[in-house]
Chain A
Amino acid sequence: VTARRSLAGVVAAGVLLYFLPSFASTLGLQTTDILFLYTLLFWITQATAWNIFTGYSGYFNFGQSAFYGVGLYASVILIQDHGINFFAAIPLAGLVTGAIAGVIAFFVFRLREVAGLLFALLTVVLTFVGMSVAQVSQSIDGGRGRTVNIPHYPHFLGDYASFIYRLGVVMAVVAVCISIVVYYSKFGWGLFAIRDQEAVAEGLGVPTLRYKLLAFALSCGIVGSSAAIHSVQLSYFQPTDVFDLGGVAIAVVFMCIVGGRNHWLGPIIGAIVIYTATSRLVQSNLATWNDIIRGVGLAVVMVVARDGIVGRLMAQPMLAGGVLVLATLLAAVAGIGGTIDRIAVGLVAMVVVLLVQGALASRLRLPAGTPRWLGGAAR
């Protein structure tokens, strides 16, 4: 029942978002706002895909950049060198990426007793291998970079911003729905069992190897398809930008850990908070500071809030919503930047309050009768 309700909610949200550009002028949305929303949806897709493998199975993947790169190059090669239609190339790029991921993972996962650290480090190395292959292979890139033109698309999708945005909506809905279906299925329970105690899971009859391979291929397949769409928005890319540990890989890790890896909602919340907040830094030409904040932030979050905010958010929805609205309004009254900047302030305030409240509630011995929004026990 919960699974069906979640799916229905996501699809309904998707339909609403899909028709948003049609009412852009009524709502006062600019093209930049639509593109901002597209990029946000791209990050939701990427973070959700990462979490399907890492969050559910517990094995860490630091090499999402590598598979993002494979997806980008697979789609460009299919479209430009083999004359495949753009819309057909999106699922195909996903298939190629997922297949490559599955084969590589097979080599590692057939060694049952190998520690997950080996896999984690291997994914780091993969990023570099991908880059060097793309650099030297003339048929992939050869170091010149690739230019992507806007493909022909049906008229009903609207102007360019609406077109890419609507693709982003569909992709995000597909990714989140897959994540929900896995989360509530036997497959998902198997993955959680692997995360908690792999040996026990194996003993209880969970086909661990098959599940790990399937989850990794699925995760990377979504990454590849999403990258195929994103290639149009990038318009130009080269191996050194794409196969970058500081790029997609660290962004999704940060989003999922801040949001929470144990629930399908975690990556979505994380992506919204982190992308909205950091895009402001990038806009103010503080991109390098963004990298520093993200890197140090990741280390700090591992110390103070390993499980992310999703659990606390669901325990205290009123408090979270209240702080979000209040801080956003305060920012508006104080006259900070545009609408997105104000929401960014609200989101950051919400995260801080949730973390501080959670930490205080668990440290302090609160008197009986403390209201729940202050961390008191549920009645």
Chain B
Amino acid sequence: MAKRSVVDFDIALARAGIDRRTRKMHDKAEHLLLEIQRPLEERIRQLAPVGSRPDDEKRLREGVFAEVVVRSDGPQLRAGVLGVRHAIPVEFGTSTMPAHPFVRPAVAEFAARLKRS
């Protein structure tokens, strides 16, 4: 019986250690994500199409967002365009209009940067 409680104690210690390290890792990841949040937003705006429909394009750029969300399984960086209906046809294209991806290239660029850091 006594032996079992020692094992339980060891497991509890190990779990506490893992939790501490996970928290540390999450804090570091959150810090990194907060650092790239604004530059990512800027990059998406930069890649957004500029051309023949200035009003639509202005609304597109105004709808761009990037935010860090902290969840129990770690921090997440979400980026995209909010409240602009033509963002999806622009990003993915339609049967009458070629795609002009601007969110995915920016995200890929910053994801690669994060991987390297």
Binding partners A and B: no
